[in-house]
Amino acid sequence: MQIIKRVQHFSESLSYRVARKLKSLEASRVKRKCLERVAEGWECRQELEQADHSLPASLMINLTSFPDRFGTLHLTLKSLLLQNVKADAVNLWLFEGDKDQLPQNVLDLQQSGLSIRWVDEDIRSYKKLIPALQQFPDAFHVTADDDIYYRPDWLKSLVEGYTGDNKQILALRAHFVRRFKDGTTQPYRKWEAKTERRGPSKDLFFTSGGGVLFPPGSLHPDARKTQIAVDLAPTADDLWWFVMALINGSTVRRVGENKGLVTWPSVEASYLWGMNKSAEHGNDMQLKNLLRHYKLKI
């Protein structure tokens, strides 16, 4: 009996390792394919035909970065500049103190439509959107992350979802807030990740890196208040935007296809993921901070 159990355990362990190896190989293959698409698209960019976005105000793509990700940043930026719908601006918001470390392959992209905008204070991931809201309050703002490959139709999917309702935020990727029977919110790790639900709903929690379109006025005016944001949710900017939408009376609708994200290698991503799962610093604690401050129940 012991021998049979050992054989079963070995077989299960081997199957698990083989499955992980196959998954890793597939992920590597997909990343190589995305690298090829970026390289080929960039080489032929003069032939690229980009449609107008047709929105009633300026359309801006916003992202931020930091030195640990500068090595692959140009790949993400090129994928954003190669969209088949043309944004009025692709804004890269960076901390002034990182200026000397920015590589030439990123600086060169300013000749192809990239706007590099420097900020005095390093407010981490909040650099992605707070400065944009402060400086361009009447624009349509789309958020992106610095380590993701964006398919050519990514921006088009967001723009085509706009119906004229500025209180409806559009997202390509979202989680659904699950509740206990008494109506209280379950812990973040219990939410329905990468939901197929479409909405519109106040219980759809958008993930800004997947791509979110914020129409003018869709977020509460406090969304621009840096100090409150970093005090209450220092590592959970998506929760900040989520609460700013809630107290503003906005809803979220998921658009496009719920495709997986292809990311370039990153150290910080796994670090923040662990931080936001911890009891002391994680999403649940930061959400409680926000709800308590704004006397809000969800």
Predicted model pTM: 0.89
Q: What is the pLDDT of residue 26?
A: 75
Helix ranges (DSSP H) in 128-198? 130-135, 154-160
Which pLDDT band holds residue 170 (cuts at 50, 70, 90)? very high
Q: For residues 255 and 204, is the Cβ–Cβ distance under 8 A?
A: no
pLDDT at 269 over 60: no
pLDDT digits (tens, 9 = 90+) for 131-143: 999 999 999 999 9
User: Which has the higher per-residue pLDDT, 20 or 253?
Assistant: 253
- What does the DSSP assignment read for 36-98? HHHHHHHHTGGG---B----SS-EEEEEE--GGGHHHHHHHHHHHHT-SB--SEEEEEEEGGG
- Pairing state of beta strands 59-64 and 89-95? parallel
Fold for the domain defined by 45-293: Spore Coat Polysaccharide Biosynthesis Protein SpsA; Chain A (3.90.550)
Which pLDDT band holds residue 7 (cuts at 50, 70, 90)? low
Domain ranges of the chain: 45-293
In eight-state DSSP terms, residue 255 is -
Which pLDDT band holds residue 99 (cuts at 50, 70, 90)? very high
Q: Which amino acid is at 181?
A: K
Mean pLDDT score of the chain: 91
pLDDT at 263 over 60: yes
Chain position carrying tokens 């503003």: 248
Q: Which amino acid is at 183?
A: G
Which pLDDT band holds residue 22 (cuts at 50, 70, 90)? low
Q: For residues 252 and 206, is the Cβ–Cβ distance under 8 A?
A: yes
**256-286: b or e for each residue (b if 16 or more CB lie within 10 Å)?**
beeeebbbbebeebeebeeebeeeebbbbeb
Q: For residues 255 and 171, is the Cβ–Cβ distance under 8 A?
A: yes
* 111-to-35, 105, 106, 183 alpha-carbon distances in Å: 21, 11, 10, 52
Which pLDDT band holds residue 270 (cuts at 50, 70, 90)? very low
Spatial separation of the C-alpha atoms in residues 118 and 213, rounded to whole Å? 22
pLDDT at 244 over 80: yes
Which pLDDT band holds residue 273 (cuts at 50, 70, 90)? very low
Q: What is the pLDDT of residue 111?
A: 98
Non-local CB neighbours of 120 within 8 Å, separated by 6+ positions: 96
Q: What is the pLDDT of residue 275?
A: 46
